Structure 1
């Protein structure tokens, strides 16, 4: 699932222009196309003006209404699929502010029932102690840090909503990465073991001795089956296309078969915490 940040940034406007040009080449007004597609004229206008992101179904209906040939359909659908992916570069995220990002995540968490996290190199804020959170955002402007720490801690309340289900797959590297002094790292691992006891939370550990993937790894999160994010050191990509989300769900299920859960996971976590204490 490779993506090019610059290409993703341009895909939405390019798709809008492409659909508008195809409509004009077909000699159709927006109103006539709307009737053919059973889509409102105002929505056609917003799609062509890049004011809204069309779904793949919207694009298929428009192409059928235009009567586009198969080659054009394939090209436009490839562009539409790319437009379903949003790239958020690291610099842009910093300019937006950590508090804005935390607000967006809190809103997403409020409407999600099932969460799946694959954590490659670090813990997520939902699982983190205050010390771990502070150190993880120490690169951010000092004016943003205090508020962001508070918002991250507030978001942890979602873990105790028993109507929501969480599965965290965490590599040994992510658990044991020494972000903090040894005693604080032991407390962070203790928190993981404690949360693993909660009925709506599953914590799966992937030890380094287990070869569980032949594909390039990235941290990713899937919210229900409707949205997913992949994080890299350069930024984050947001996926809304069902095919992309299904691919990540399949990958997650594959990793899950290699993870240790329950008592086995807690025993390993306790062993790692004790190693830090020694």
Structure 2
């Protein structure tokens, strides 16, 4: 498993390997000692500690037991899961088409009971109107030279539009799809914000805020965070990192306005469309 300096996933695997090697040393064991106690070949423990072979979840459980650090097992397994699926380039995810990319995420949304979303650049997908979604996905399809299955992708995204959200005032003025599309989207935001199962907050633009905007992120219960970056799709499952995003969400939610104040910002943005 060669290490690439440009690969976030490889760096995550290397970090896990380094941590396992550290636990071995802290327990006063050599790689050969650990292999013997685990019932492995010496080459297996060496490959794991040098990040040439990824451990399995069971390997990590045995490793922690032998090193006497069973309390770290779940965090290390979460790190393994993160390394396995933390980074997917858009070209890989979207190779079968935008529809498949949308459908692949549906099971995660279906099993989530508390969904939190923060976005500073686009209205979150779960509360987009069909025309807004089409404009956004059409831009992606053209920019990345993908097959044209935008209509099917729009239908797939509509399947997961529910639960609760947060956003930045700048989202209200993003201009996606033009004035007509934005007007329809802003009207839809007001309607969705009145639903009892939805908490819609808008972080007002202000010159003196002490919490900067963050990259858009989506929190699924307490199990997973997804972050969409320019080059790919990041999945985070490490409990401490998930907690950090939950804390960031809480801080941004404190800055947000809700109810009548949020609707007033939406109306102001709509009026600016003429």
TM-score, structure 2 length as denominator? 0.75
- Counterpart position of 1:264: 261
Cα shift at 1:216: 6.3
2:195 match: secondary structure: coil
Conservation of the 8 A alpha-carbon contact between 2:37 and 2:66: no
Q: How does 1:1-278 map to 2 (within 5 A)?
A: 6-9=7-10, 11-12=12-13, 15=16, 25-26=32-33, 28=35, 32=39, 50=54, 52=56, 54=57, 59=60, 62-66=63-67, 83=83, 86-138=86-138, 139-140=140-141, 141-156=146-161, 159=162, 165-166=163-164, 168-209=165-206, 211-215=208-212, 217-276=214-273, 278=274
- Counterpart position of 2:45: none
**Greater Cα offset, 215-224 or 24-33:** 24-33
Runs (5+) with no aligned partner, structure 2: 25-29, 41-47
Residue by residue over 1:115-166, the C-alpha shift from the partner in whole angstroms, topping out at 9 and shown as x without a partner, is 110011001221111111111111312433121111112222xx2xxxxx41
Quick one: structure 1 residues 210 and 92, their matched pair in 2 at CA, closer, same or farther if it must change by over 3 Å?
A: farther
Runs (5+) with no aligned partner, structure 1: 34-43, 160-164
**Number of aligned pairs?**
243
Conservation of the 8 A alpha-carbon contact between 2:38 and 2:66: no
TM-score, structure 1 length as denominator? 0.74
Residue by residue over 1:213-266, the C-alpha shift from the partner in whole angstroms, topping out at 9 and shown as x without a partner, is 545620001000110011212222100011000000011100111101011111
Cα shift at 1:275: 2.0
**Greater Cα offset, 216-225 or 252-261:** 216-225
Cα shift at 1:271: 2.1
* RMSD across aligned positions (CA): 3.5
Cα shift at 1:59: 3.4
**Greater Cα offset, 186-195 or 92-101:** 92-101
